[in-house]
Amino acid sequence: MNPTIDILNAHRSVRTFTADPVPAEHLEAAVHAGQMASTSSAVQAYCAIDITDADTRREIAELSGGQAQVESAPTFLLVCADTRRHRLAAIDANQPHDTRLEAFLIAAIDASLFAQNVVVAFESMGYGICYIGGIRNDLPRLDALLGLPEGVYPLFGLCVGTPAARDGATPLQRPRLPLGAVLMQDRYHDDETMRAHMQDYDDGYREYLRERGVKDSQLAAAWSPRMAEYHRVPRRPALAEHYISKGARLD
């Protein structure tokens, strides 16, 4: 349709990279493009920490569940919801500082919009990326490792680098829900309509799994059963406690 939409539609996560470094001017151009994302009332409640120290990278890879790409990616950014600057402004103005759920949510939304702009900028330069939510496995350890101040809440990491050609092929694109499942008119779908979209998606998803070489015996695990399983038990239940310990009230 146009080159921007082509880049967006070509996205896939990349987890193996060549050793080619990401030049500083590319990193800065991508982060600047990230900063140009919309931001609630211009709060700009985010930061990206470029983790260059090899030992720190190794430890983050380990606490993220042994994800090798955290260590091997030429560039690894830690993206945080960041209310530090607001706190400093409040201290300097001798004002109280809001730390409740709306402020936290705004920071998380802002940081996500920032990060996705950074991602698209990198992809437009030919780089591959992989978000790393695994950093939230052990936030106290990450926090101790980096010595983060109050008001800085790590959300995810971002691996960036030139995609390594795997047998000359790019990884298969993971299919998304049918457009009709997410784009509605005036009213939310009734459950029957939504289930029909989910059924269509599960059928297509099994095809995708088959193409990826997943065995027939495991094809029952299409998207819907995977989502049911994924949300069966609380994930990372210690998050609230950590974010509260760093200044967020979350109420």
Q: How far is the CB of 74 from ligand FMN (least distance, A)?
A: 17
Q: How far is the CB of 118 from ligand FMN (least distance, A)?
A: 13
β-pair partners for 161: 128
Contact characters 40-79, ligand FMN, x per CB under 6 A: ---------------------------x------------
**133, 163, 178, 204: which one binds ligand FMN (CB under 6 A):** 133
156 is an interface residue for ligand FMN by CB under 6 A: yes
CA 137, 143, 144: angle at the middle one, nearest 5?
A: 115
Window contacting ligand FMN (CB under 6 A); options: 9-17, 96-104, 215-223, 242-250: 9-17
Q: d(Cα 135, Cα 51) in Å, to the nearest integer?
A: 13
131 is an interface residue for ligand FMN by CB under 6 A: yes
Q: How far is the CB of 12 from ligand FMN (least distance, A)?
A: 4
Q: How far is CA 179 from CA 166, 175, 189, 194, 206, in A?
A: 30, 11, 13, 11, 18
Q: How far is the CB of 64 from ligand FMN (least distance, A)?
A: 6
Q: d(Cα 70, Cα 126) in Å, to the nearest integer?
A: 19
Tokens representing 117? 């702009």
b/e sequence 58-90, b meaning 16+ C-beta within 10 Å? ebbbbbbeebebbbbbbbbbbbbbbbbebbeeb
174 is an interface residue for ligand FMN by CB under 6 A: yes
3-state SS of 189-208?
CCHHHHHHHHHHHHHHHHHH
Window contacting ligand FMN (CB under 6 A); options: 12-20, 42-50, 118-126, 214-222: 12-20
Q: Note whether 79 and 155 are within 8 A (CB).
A: yes
Starting at the edge strand found earlier in the chain, the sheet holding 75-82 runs 46-50, 75-82, 152-161, 128-132
**37, 73, 132, 198: which one binds ligand FMN (CB under 6 A):** 132
- The number of beta carbons lying within 10 Å of the beta carbon of residue 162 is 17
Q: How far is the CB of 46 from ligand FMN (least distance, A)?
A: 14
134 is an interface residue for ligand FMN by CB under 6 A: yes
Q: How far is the CB of 227 from ligand FMN (least distance, A)?
A: 12
**80, 120, 130, 222: which one binds ligand FMN (CB under 6 A):** 130
- Which residues make up the interface to ligand FMN (CB under 6 A)? 11-13, 15, 67, 130-134, 156, 174
